[in-house]
Amino acid sequence: MVTIKVNEKTKAGQALIATAKVMAQKYPGIDITEDDQVLLEKMKTNHKSDFLSEQEQSVFLKELEKVAK
């Protein structure tokens, strides 16, 4: 996830937001979040999902050992 701070009062900021909105409609991988609380919740969710569970970690390490041999 990338966060870009845009000054909505400038021409450049307005152009960037307009472009992002068009791209968000066309491409499913782009989301625009204008509410700070929603953004914070997304960041918390993404942070939690970055960690491997014990089982996932075990499987990953076994695969890594196979590749290293």
Q: How far apart are CA 52 and CA 64, in angstroms?
A: 14
Kindly tell me if the per-residue pLDDT of 59 is higher than 80. Answer: yes
pLDDT at 49: 63
Q: pLDDT band at residue 47, thresholds of 50, 70 and 90?
A: low
Which one has a higher pLDDT value, 35 or 9?
A: 9
DSSP-derived secondary structure letter, 52: P
- Ordered by start, the domain boundaries in the chain are 1-32, 34-69
For 41, half-sphere exposure in the C-beta direction (CA atoms, 13 angstrom radius) is 5
Q: Residue 24: pLDDT above 80?
A: yes
